[in-house]
Amino acid sequence: MAMNALHRRICRSDSWADRMHGTTLPWATRDVDLGGEVLEIGPGYGVTTRWLAPRAGALTAVEVDPVLAADLRTGLGPELGVDVRHGDGAALPFPDDSFDAVVCFTMLHHVPTPGEQDRLFGEAARVLRPGGTFAGIDSRATLRFRAIHVGDTMTLVDPATLPRRLGAAGLAGAATELGARSFRFRADRG
């Protein structure tokens, strides 16, 4: 999942971390119980993982990029007690009913195709325990967003059709809420 140099620099910046930690992640996880076993799909450079770790009962992170996964395992695993795995969110290496919550933040648009996104949704539903929640955020298509993603893998997610897609993946009560630059989503496993 390609990311250009500007995009990589932004995702590692203090200003990105401050924005994510200060407003975006609290908004994205409002009313989501993070107290049990939580799976984060696509942590990238770990900005979101650092915020999640002290809030989750137990945190596992799955990253598709082997270099990022190794860096996270070395840097975050020992420091924060995060179980970091290299793997694909569309083919999760966990048994059914493994997690109380599954989250992903600003990464769905980096999944190369809508079909792979749908497989990721199905995997999130599969590994959730009954009553568990799948939640997260993704970006809205603005001129700035498009400029930052020139040369990147970018498959936009339409917040209007996402509830239907999550329902097709086996999740219930799916809803989205629009923000200025992003949207949040939530669905539950019945």
136 vs 105: CA distance, rounded Å? 5
β strands within the chain, DSSP E: 37-41, 58-63, 83-86, 99-105, 128-139, 172-178, 182-188
Q: Is 160 exposed, middle or buried (0-12, 13-18, 19+ CB in 10 A)?
A: exposed
Q: Which amino acid is at 113?
A: T
CATH value at residue 13: 3.40.50.150
Q: % helix / strand / coil in the chain, to the nearest 5?
A: 40, 25, 35
Domain of residue 137 covers 5-91+99-188
pLDDT in the model for residue 146: 58
pLDDT at 37: 98
Amino acid letter, 86? H
Per-residue pLDDT of the chain (190 residues; tens, 9 = 90+): 566 565 566 666 667 678 878 999 999 999 999 999 999 999 988 999 999 999 999 999 999 999 999 999 998 867 789 999 999 999 999 999 999 999 999 899 889 999 999 999 999 999 999 999 999 999 887 666 655 655 667 788 999 999 999 999 999 999 999 998 899 999 999 8
How many separate domains does the chain show?
1
Q: Are 85 and 96 in contact (CB under 8 A)?
A: no
CA distance 109 to 138: 7
pLDDT confidence of residue 25: 94
Q: Are 3 and 33 in contact (CB under 8 A)?
A: no
